[in-house]
Amino acid sequence: MGTLNYVELSVHDLPASARFFERAFGWKLKYFSSHYAATMTGLTDIALRADQATATKAPLPVIEVDDLPAALSAVEQAGGVITRPIFTFPGVSTGAGS
């Protein structure tokens, strides 16, 4: 079963966006690069991506699964359309599917 891990938002100004969420909600963000930061609560987190070349046009929900290739197959079999191949996420440990 998949679990919503976090939601990634595209932003134009990472420092300004991070300040907004910190001021509005008290969230602390960890910077993985000058273009990417995320909360690290261990619950459902939020990530901010400021790299417009790789940013999505809509929020990107990240669903954690135990077996990524099997989940990809299940999504396709259920009629889902894969718009991006499997890729590495900042802050995710390496291993099968990461």
| pLDDT tens column, 42-53 | 889 999 999 888
pLDDT bin (cut points 50, 70, 90) of residue 67 is: very high
Residue 61 main-chain phi, psi, to 5 deg: -75, 135
Q: Is the pTM of this model over 0.95?
A: no
Q: Which of 26-30, 59-63, 86-90 has the highest mean pLDDT?
A: 26-30
Q: Which residues contact 98 (CB under 8 A, 6 or more apart)?
A: 68, 88, 89, 92
Q: Which of 21, 18, 3 is nearest to 49 (CA)?
A: 18
Residue 18 or residue 62, greater confidence: 18
- Domains of the chain in start order, with CATH, are 3-64 (3.10.180.10)
Q: What does the longest C-alpha to C-alpha distance in the chain come to? A: 43
Given a cut of 60, whether residue 60 has pLDDT beyond it is yes
Q: Determine the Cα–Cα distance for residues 49 and 60; give it in Å rounded to an integer.
A: 10
